Structure 1
Amino acid sequence: MNKIIKAIAFLIITVVLLSACGPNRTQKDIDQALKSDESKTKPDQLTMWVDGDKQIAFYKKITAAYTKKTGIKVKLVNVGQNDQLENISLDAPAGKGPDLFFLAHDNTGSAYLQGLAAELKFSDKELQGFNKDALRALNYDNKQLALPSIVETTALFYNKKYLKEAPQTLKEVEANAEKYTNHEKKQYGFLFDAKNFYFNYPFLFNNDDYIFKKNGDKYDVNKLGLNSKDVVKNGERLQQWYKKGYLPKAATHDVMIGLFKDGKVGQFVTGPWNLNEYQEVLGKDLGVTTLPTDHGEKMKPFLGVRGWYLSEYSKSKYWAKDLMLYITSKDTLQKYTNEMSEITGRTDVKSSNPNLKVFEEQAKNAEPMPNIPEMQQVWEPMGNASIFISNGKNPKESLDEATEDIRQNIEILHPEDK
């Protein structure tokens, strides 16, 4: 019942947000906006909402070069990535929003449906060099709504003190878990945050499995694959890892990071976020490799994409798009990966860090998280199912219940489909 109440609350908030913040324009306003979209009149200033102090410091240098090139000043405003969608829905209609804003790709559908993200048109030449999956993640209803700046995924870290060579198969990973796990020494052969759907996705889903069935480029939200035969079977395997003591029930992801840094973990599946710390602490003992094969197929983790969106309310769309292309160019993103130690949305940008290169390679074999609003209904039920599995509940029952919760929540969001 709590799930239904939460879904109703989400629906109410969404309806209020759409009605309060979506474009409410006359045909005359629309015609004028379309005409001004291609206006080449230079503005005095463009505004970017930037995520955090590190990005502010980086883009201050980049936009200074853009100003020197074009004469257009760029105002950088520090707004947290997770706050930008809500803030722009309030600020943009009042004329206080940015020209460019920065979001994770799973907000793409919401940004478009609220009338906040402008549809973009690019030539084939302008899109050369971008990761195609990353571009697709920022496309909604066949409309390109952003350009990718950063991509994220998970890979397998390992400690060479335990493993001389990177494991190639999941069977090898399991064998290492058995060999090196020693609870008395608080030592683990294999760790990942198995109660978090983001991290356990590649261990539950084979390559042919799906969250929402896809018809072409569109997701069918009425066809769920979260409790398929394969996912249930992999859920049973996950539960066995708990029973065998490979995975601790109480440890959080932060605790696991600490254990890995302390040299207490042989293999650890996570993202590149703490890579610099691992390199400093573990030195030559640090190894990084792509996820292993499972049943002869390469495992595919989630691909997260963060990108730059052009506000529908921007009064200088031509030049805002020009700035977007500038800050996502090969030259700019090469500087970004060198300075920020993150992988970018371009395949023609290469990191000089061999450990980061592994994530660039893994990103080529990763599954973009669905960017539709209905995906927000998936995280909590699947997280709960993962917790239930860790506590010994039947995996099929856990996944069936999660699927039913998600189905009910989506039905509440789309009562017209009943």
Structure 2
Amino acid sequence: MPTVDQGVDWGDIPTWLSSIATVGALLFAALAALAAQRVYRIESERDRVNAEQRKEQEAYLRRTQAALVSAWWGHEAGAWGAFVRNASETPVYQASLTVLDVHDPDVHERVDLPVIPPAGEPMFRPTGLTDGGGAGADYRVEITFTDSAGARWIRDQQGRLSELRPEVVIWADERRARALRGFASEFLATHGVKVRFRTGRIEALRDDLLGGQEAPDILVGPHDWLGRLVRAGAVEPLVMSQRRREGFLPEAVAAMTHQGELYGVPYALDTAVLLRHTGLAPEQPATFEELLATGQALRAEGRADEVLAMQVGPDGDAYYMYPILVAAGGRLFDRNRGGVLDPSAVAVDAPETVAAFDRFRDLGARGTGVLRREIDRERATELFAAGRTPYLICASRVLADLARAGLPFAVGPVPPFEGFPAVRAFSSVHGFFLTRHGPNKTIAQDLAVHYLTRTEVALALYEAQPRPPALRLALEQVVDTDPRVAAFAAECRNGDLMPSVPEMPDVWRLLGRAEADLIAGADTAATVRQLAQGLRSALGARRSAPAPRAGV
């Protein structure tokens, strides 16, 4: 009879015991590893906390002496001046006292003290400044010094104490860096700090700041960056009194203000204008048609190669195209009730703007060929400087080079097409932004707000790179001496401030692309339709309401 299998053979007892022991060993090893990892984490966290505590203690000890050094404005024995006191037990060295008028950067005085010994009572250093109307309320004293351990400190005019880093870092394009280098170095040398510039295309520098890899102390750039920089938390508001703000053109302050906060120190104005070679075109054209006729006649006579030079390039350059669009009766945005351009009201597909784009397209490859994508920034400038075109639509960047070359030229507005009102181009305000994560913010603010805003510095910056200054006193002086700068400044002030919403880089990119396509001969209706869709998508904007031509 067959034997019935009663179950599975699970092996003998020794094998089972061996297996259990192996599993137990593995579990014990795993538990031991987890415990070791936990101990490691605890020890690592303890080391980190201890390191932070040591760092805090070291920082506290470093500040102990510095916190006992102070300076203030006051009166003694019939004179006004600066009091300074070192209440610590050891001397401080290389001290510099700067007396500042809170409202007027042109009023200042500096006192250098090689050493400030410990003392129970403050020392008094009289200055040549008056008492500010009897109360001395308009003056503050800033002091920089080196403590006994070799660390450099600044106590600013509000009394805030900060340790100075060895250098202030400024990001700017090469041209602005050259203009700023000497003045920044002179100022910072008085505080025992050096200046270091990083130069490049300003758009690339802006993008690097927004990328968060590193941050300068000061970024130089145009105001239309502001919305994007503020939204990213890359810049912070500046401290500037109302009376000092009034020393600038009101539109310059408005350009650097976002949601009621001043985020930049205005430096200079700029816009797109018509430069006219007076040897070829002695008179300012009244209309765009007159401009074209003059240029075409000169080209027919062999005296010019181009009717008009304007940088376009393969991707377009909408900043310079915009005044022609306005000249032809078009508009990018409608205005709000206050008369300010409103980026939420896109008007590029309004009938009158479509007609303006048609006029612009006629200047390209499928029309008169006046504008070409082959003409980039360098080529446009070269043509004008060589006297091979009577007109150049450009901004201030070329003024100094043309003047040094002795070229006979004049500055005027881009003229409107016949039957349209005067052109209001976009105006930009360039300035100094204080970054939120800059390592040397206290001295950087002092440099931007209290030094670079002095009239003598603004005039010197103008000499290095002629742009209409945003500082009233400096502007008044330069317009009295140079009619071309006076005309340029008038166009800057006549223009519309560029919007500074965060999406402005997208606006310029889309408009530049449409410009390049139209010059190449693309269909106007299709190009404008695509542009309008892109702008509304980028801006979250609505369709513009119809507007009369005279309201452009």
Kindly indicate whether structure 1 or structure 2 has the higher relative contact order, using CA contacts under 8 Å at least 6 residues apart: 1
Corresponding residue SS for 1:303: strand
Counterpart among 376, 390, 397 of residue 519 in structure 2: 390
Give me the TM-score of the superposition, normalised by structure 1: 0.77
1:286 is aligned to 409
Q: Which residue of 1 aligns with 2:352?
A: 230
Aligned to 1:328: 453
Q: Report the Cα offset of residue 228 of structure 1.
A: 2.0
Q: Is this contact kept in 1: 2:326–2:425, CA < 8 A?
A: no
Tell me how far 1:360 sits from its aligned partner: 1.9
- Between 214-223 and 111-120, report the one with greater CA deviation: 214-223
Contact 1:146-1:308 within 8 A present in 2 as well: yes
Contact 2:164/2:440, CA 8 A, preserved across alignment? no
Are residues 1:271 and 2:391 paired? no
Farther off after superposition, 311-320 or 130-139: 311-320
Equivalent-residue separation in structure 2 for 1:223 and 1:273 (angstroms):
31
Distance 2:532 2:211 in 1: 33
Tell me the CA shift for residue 68 of structure 1: 6.5
CA distance in 2 between counterparts of 1:219 and 1:54 reads 31
Task: Report whether the alignment pairs 1:138 with 2:256.
Answer: yes
Q: Which is worse superposed, 223-232 or 350-359?
A: 350-359
Contact 1:272–1:356, Cα closer than 8 Å, also in 2:
no
Whether the 8 Å contact between 1:213 and 1:225 is mirrored in structure 2 is no
Distance 1:215 1:48, change over 3 A: farther
**Secondary structure in 2 matching 1:292:** coil
Task: Quote the residue 1:246 is aligned against.
Answer: 370
Partners in 2 of 1:388 and 1:86 — Cα distance?
26
The correspondence for 2:470, drawn from 345, 364, 368, is 345
Distance 1:318 1:281 in 2: 41
The number of residue pairs the alignment matches comes to: 372
Aligned pairs for 1:48-87 within 5 A: 48-52=169-173, 55-67=176-188, 71=191, 73-80=193-200, 81-87=202-208
Query: Within 2, Cα distance between the matches of 1:85 and 1:384?
Result: 21
Distance 2:287 2:473 in 1: 29
**Secondary structure of 1:109's partner?**
helix
Taking the TM superposition and a 5 Å limit, the aligned residue runs for 1:285-304 are 285-294=408-417, 295=419, 297-304=421-428
**1:226 to 1:49, Cα distance in 2 relative to 1, 3 A:** same
Task: Using the TM superposition, name which of 344-353 and 205-214 deviates more.
Answer: 205-214
User: CA, structure 1 residues 64+225, in 2 after alignment: closer, same or farther (shift >3 Å)?
Assistant: same
| Residue in 2 that maps onto 1:113 | 231
CA displacement at 1:402 relative to structure 2: 0.7
Correspondence for 1:98: 216
Cα distance, 1:335 vs structure 2: 0.9
Letter in 2 for 1:204: L
Secondary structure of the structure 2 residue equivalent to 1:49: strand
Query: In the alignment, which of 528, 531, 548 is matched to residue 399 of structure 1?
Result: 528
Q: Using the alignment, how far apart are the partners of 2:204 and 2:157 within structure 1?
A: 26
Q: 1:74 to 1:40 in 2, by over 3 A?
A: farther
For the residue of structure 1 that corresponds to 2:532, the secondary structure is: helix
Q: Give the percent of matched residue pairs that are identical in Structure 1 and Structure 2.
A: 16
CA distance in 1, matches of 2:309, 2:458: 32
* Cα distance in 2 between the residues matched to 1:311 and 1:256: 35
In structure 2, distance between residues paired with 1:281 and 1:291: 24
The change in CA–CA distance for 1:409 and 1:393 in structure 2 (over 3 A counts) is same
Deviation at 1:300, TM superposition (A): 1.7
Give the whole-Å Cα distance in 2 for the aligned partners of 1:159 and 1:360: 19
2:455 aligned partner, one-letter code: K
Structure 1, residues 218-243: CA drift from partner, whole Å, max 9, x if none?
97654311222232121122222331
Pick one of 354, 379, 382 that aligns with 1:258: 382
Q: Which residue of 1 aligns with 2:537?
A: 408
CA contact (8 A) 2:295 2:304 kept: no
Shift of residue 117 of structure 1? 0.9
Letter in 1 for 2:487: V
1:209 counterpart letter in structure 2: R
Alignment partners' CA distance in 1, 2:245 and 2:487: 24
Structure 2 residue ranges without an equivalent (≥5): 1-155, 542-552
Q: Which residue of 1 aligns with 2:145?
A: none
Separation of aligned partners in 2, 1:189 and 1:344:
32
Distance between the aligned counterparts of 1:140 and 1:208, measured in 2?
Answer: 28
C-alpha offsets along residues 234-272 of structure 1, whole Å, 9 cap, x if unaligned? 112222233134334543333222222221111221122
Give how far 1:357 is off: 3.2
AA of the residue aligned to 1:180: L
Paired with 1:384 and 1:314, the residues of 2 have a C-alpha distance of 35
TM-score for the superposition, normalised by structure 2: 0.60
TM-aligned CA distance change 1:125 to 1:381, over 3 Å: same
Deviation at 1:392, TM superposition (A): 3.0
Report the CA distance shift for 1:88/1:200 in structure 2 as closer, same or farther (over 3 A): closer
- Please give the per-residue CA displacement for 1:5-56, whole angstroms capped at 9, x wherever unaligned: xxxxxxxxxxxxxxxxxxxxxxxxxxxxxxx995532543462414255544
Letter in 2 for 1:110: R
**Contact 1:178 / 1:246 at 8 angstroms: preserved in 2?**
no
Cα distance, 1:389 vs structure 2: 2.0
Query: Contact 1:290–1:361 (CA<8 Å) still a contact in 2?
Result: no
Q: Highest CA radius of gyration, 1 or 2?
A: 2
The answer to whether the 8 Å contact 2:172/2:219 transfers is no
Distance of 1:299 and 1:399 partners within structure 2: 21
For the residues of structure 1 that align with 2:431 and 2:494, how far apart are their CA atoms?
Answer: 19
Do the aligned partners of 1:202 and 1:299 also contact (CA within 8 Å) in 2?
Answer: yes
Once the two structures are overlaid, the 10-residue window that deviates more, 42-51 or 267-276, is 42-51
Counterparts in 2 of 1:296 and 1:211: CA distance versus 1, 3 Å: closer
Question: Take 1:405 and 1:37, find their aligned partners in 2: how far apart are those partners?
Answer: 48
Aligned CA RMSD, in angstroms, stands at 3.3
C-alpha distance in 2 between matches for 1:330 and 1:312: 27
**Further displaced range: 260-269 or 47-56:** 47-56
The structure whose residues are more often helix, as a share, is 1
